[in-house]
Amino acid sequence: MYHHSGSMARQAAGSATGLLEPAAPATDAILFQRCTWCGTAMYHRLLCPVCQGGDLRTERSEGVGTVRHSTVVHRNTPAARNVSLIELAEGFVVRGRVMGPPAAIHSGDRVRMSTAKDPVRGEPVFQLLDEPYRAWS
C-alpha cells in the first residue's frame, strides 16, 4: 500500500514484524494489523488473539464502520462527550469519539473517520454518515 505525501511516494505499511511504524508521518488513516496465518484483523496487538501468531502485517483502514456501543461521559470534561466502540469494515473494533450530540448516537449508526487522532485524547474521531432520524418516544 502506498501513501503519497506531496510529490514523493513511499511505502506506508508492511513492516515484517507487524509493529506500527513510529517514524511514519501523521496521516488521517487508521493503521491496523492482520495476521498472516489466519487473516484476523486487530488493532494495536502484539500477537493474534485467535491463533497467537506473531507474524502480523500492517494495513491501512478505509475508516468506514458501524457504532457497536456508545456511552455518554460527564467526568473530567466541561461538557458531556461520547465514547464509542466502532467496528470498522475490515473486521476490527476501535475506541473513538463520534461527532454530534452524545444522545443522538446509537448502536448501528454508520460512521466514517474524520481524523485519526483527536488532539486532546489521541483517539480516532468519526462522523455520522446518515442523519439520524428517530421518532419521539
Q: Tens digit of pLDDT for each residue in 60-87? A: 999 999 999 998 888 777 777 788 999 9
Can you give the pLDDT at residue 132?
A: 58
| pTM exceeds 0.85, yes or no | no
**Angstrom distance (rounded) from CA 26 to CA 20:** 12
98 phi/psi in degrees, rounded to 5: -105, 130
- Residue 24's pLDDT is 44
pLDDT at 101: 81
pLDDT value at residue 89: 94
3-class DSSP assignment, residue 104: helix
Check residue 47 and give its pLDDT: 94
**Total residues found in the chain within this entry:** 137
Residues of the chain whose pLDDT is less than 70?
1-27, 131-137
pLDDT of 11: 38
